[in-house]
Chains A and B, each alone.
Chain A
Amino acid sequence: MSTNRARRADTAGFVIAGLLLALALVIVWDLSNLRITSVYGLGPEAMPVVVAAGLVLLAAGNAAMAYKGELPAREPVDIRAIVLILGGLVALIALIGLGGGFIPATAILFAATATAFGRRAILVDLVIGLVLAVAVYLLFAKLLTLSLPVGLIERLI
């Protein structure tokens, strides 16, 4: 990945083309699960066939662009920031899935995102996230009677 920029651009473009091709293959493979029972006109298989064909053509188009080096110039990525935000999302999903409740999940996402954007005060941000989450919970779950996941903290409110 640490080769010069022009070469890396090409590789990325070919990966995109490959992904589009893979998507087309998934659609075609999925067709085998359909029972074709159409009397007149088009059955449920027609649209997937059209979309898959389009994706194959576009994979070729994208590969051609990658070959000609027509991908836009990109800046170096701050991987740490991406990992932090996605980590915050994973923590939120895990907490919701395990019944940890809306408020702690949201507070962690808030603190992780703020840190990703360069803040260096994770404890302060956790508290701010907690306050925001409680406010949102009170407003939407209590006032607007939206159902938000309930955990330990929510039961106390």
Chain B
Amino acid sequence: MDALAALTQGLAVALQPMNLLFALIGVLLGTAVGVLPGIGPALTVALLLPITFKLDPAGSLIMFAGIYYGGMYGGSTTAILINTPGESASLATAIEGNKMAKAGRGGPALATAAIGSFAAGTLATIGIVFLAPWLVRIAVQFGPEDYFALMCVAFITVSATFGNSPVRGLTSLFIGLTLGLVGIDRLTGQARLGFGVPELLDGVEITTLAVGLFAVGEALYVASRRLHHQETLEPVRGSLWMTLDDWRRSWKPWLRGALFGFPIGALPAGGAEIPTFLSYATERRLSKHPEEFGKGAIEGVAGPEAANNASAAGTLVPLLTLGLPTSATAAMMLAGFQQYGLNPGPLLFAERPDLVWGLIASLFIANAMLLVLNLPLVGVWVRLLAIPQPWLYAGILVFATMGTIAAKPQVIELTMLAAFGVLGFLMRRFDYPIAPVVIGLILGPVAESQLRRALSISLGDPLALVQSPISATLLALAVVALIAPFTLRGLARFKADAD
């Protein structure tokens, strides 16, 4: 039971007044950006990285985790009230949730989303407490070849296996890997893709890429099709509270949603979309009121909302124990660890248990804060949606450029920001996923150095990659994950069904 002892110590860290304050700031910011269309938790963490550089690592990481969880809560509000999901994780919620709001049942929809998020988030955080130490014990035995194989699995699953099109996902990933090549090679000190520009020798800044793709790209995309998409905000009418019948119909979807969300989030399987749609499809099949689906069935809100929070928690497991980000927000959190010179993984659990367990304990606190923030105070958040769209996006761009200006006030860096914005716009327009680019940039150099380390230990013998049973299994898995989407189109068809 050392997990519980460690958690108790973590709780002592998380309950320090400064850390409580950071958690509160994180969940407030997270809910706000979740509610606002156009900004998500990944972008928010990216914007905060240059500002938090001088702060205490534990505090800012607690804040980042609060933003992640808060974004999942806030996204449901937008999905239900204006049918424009703030995050892709809320796509499934919008299907039934917006219908409920149109039928005057927006209150119960918001309530089941918030309570379900709380229940699932808490269950999933308990999952972290027990799963993480166990994974750490396995990860200690990992050699460089095993890490390399693991990253191959993550690359493939994140980009190819679960997206709409494996070719488009892999294209995004390879754009990220190309950007990861830029700069001085860590082992030999030689410049790659530097083009004689000294500013490029440090490599592409992860924050510049993320802010360009997410903020500038999104603003360009929304502005370019503004004339064709007008959004209407559904006012919250009627009671905010769930009836006894709502509770009866919600609690099972909450639990099932958590059961979908946590393991899929914890596997390197890419984001919260899969578990939310799985949960939606399951609830539609199991419901006693199948006729209500498509017209505002509460199960269709309760399940996916529980699933997306549980998957956010699940994503933290590979991030903390293996240093493996499987979503864009997790990738930005990894960048957050790195800016303090911390590398998530088994070593971090041994060297900085206060930080790791403080972070995990703070997740329980963040969840409780979010329940309070989102149930009685939902009216306050809804008012954020009243900000006129021109000022909202103008403000987003002001803060997006400010982050880069503060970190590196150079013409080259700002030009790269604008160029990544154009890239983000084109990728949205042609339906290429964004997250694999960010993950390729941050994990590509790590995978490369693990591979080269593995091969220099084996004196250049490539068979070393398959001689370790762990890496052989993982590489086989990566190959299967790469081939599967080309042969079975099952997941794609299932997604089309859910829409």
Interface residues of A (CB under 8 A from B): 12, 16, 20, 23, 26-27, 30, 33-35, 37-38, 40-44, 46-48, 51, 54-55, 58, 61-62, 64-65, 70-72, 74-79, 81-82, 84-86, 88-90, 92-93, 96-97, 102, 106, 109-111, 113-119, 125, 128-129, 132-133, 136, 140, 144, 146-149
Q: Number of A-B pairs whose CB atoms are under 8 Å?
A: 198
Q: Determine the residue in chain B with the shortest Cβ distance to A65.
A: B167
CB distance from B84 to the nearest CB of A (A): 15
Q: Determine the residue in chain A with the shortest Cβ distance to B229.
A: A75
Contact A55 B174 (CB under 8 A): yes
- Bound Cα distance A54, B181 (Å): 14
CB distance from A48 to the nearest CB of B (A): 6
- Bound Cα distance A54, B129 (Å): 39
Contact B452 A41 (CB under 8 A): yes
Q: For A48, give its contact among B181, B188, B225, B459 (CB under 8 Å).
A: B181
A-B contact pairs, 23 of them (CB 8 A): A16-B430, A27-B178, A33-B191, A40-B455, A41-B459, A47-B448, A48-B181, A62-B167, A65-B165, A74-B430, A79-B224, A84-B223, A86-B220, A93-B414, A106-B398, A110-B398, A113-B219, A113-B223, A113-B397, A114-B391, A146-B406, A147-B406, A148-B402
Contact A118 B429 (CB under 8 A): no
Contact A86 B397 (CB under 8 A): no
Residue B395 is within 8 A (CB to CB) of chain A in the complex? yes
Q: Determine the residue in chain B with the shortest Cβ distance to A86.
A: B418
Contact size class for B? 35 or more
Residues of A near B170 (CB, < 8 A) are: 54, 58, 61
Contact B227 A132 (CB under 8 A): no
Contact A44 B187 (CB under 8 A): yes
Q: For A77, give its contact among B178, B225, B409, B448 (CB under 8 Å).
A: B225
Contact A77 B224 (CB under 8 A): yes
Q: Which parts of B131-178 form the interface with A (CB within 8 Å)?
A: 165, 167-168, 170-171, 174-175, 177-178
Residues of B near A34 (CB, < 8 A) are: 190, 192
Q: Determine the residue in chain A with the shortest Cβ distance to B409.
A: A149
Residues of A near B376 (CB, < 8 A) are: none
- Bound Cα distance A97, B175 (Å): 28
Residues of A near B51 (CB, < 8 A) are: 140, 144, 146
- Bound Cα distance A37, B448 (Å): 17
Binding site secondary structure of chain A: helix
Q: Determine the residue in chain B with the shortest Cβ distance to A48.
A: B181
Contact A41 B455 (CB under 8 A): yes
Which A-B residue pairs are the 6 nearest by beta carbons? A41-B455, A117-B390, A41-B456, A81-B223, A113-B394, A114-B390
- Bound Cα distance A27, B402 (Å): 32
Residue B73 is within 8 A (CB to CB) of chain A in the complex? no
Q: Given A82-B224, A86-B220, A116-B390, list of 5 further CB < 8 A pairs?
A: A34-B192, A62-B171, A85-B220, A96-B414, A113-B394
Q: For A58, give its contact among B171, B224, B415, B431 (CB under 8 Å).
A: B171
Contact B224 A118 (CB under 8 A): no
CB distance from A8 to the nearest CB of B (A): 12
Residues of B near A43 (CB, < 8 A) are: 188
- Bound Cα distance A42, B458 (Å): 11
If A30-B193, A40-B459, A58-B167 touch, does A78 touch B401 (CB 8 Å cutoff)?
Answer: no
CB distance from B212 to the nearest CB of A (A): 10
Scan B435-449; emit 1 where CB is below 8 A from any A CB, else 0: 000000000100010
Residues of B near A71 (CB, < 8 A) are: 430-431
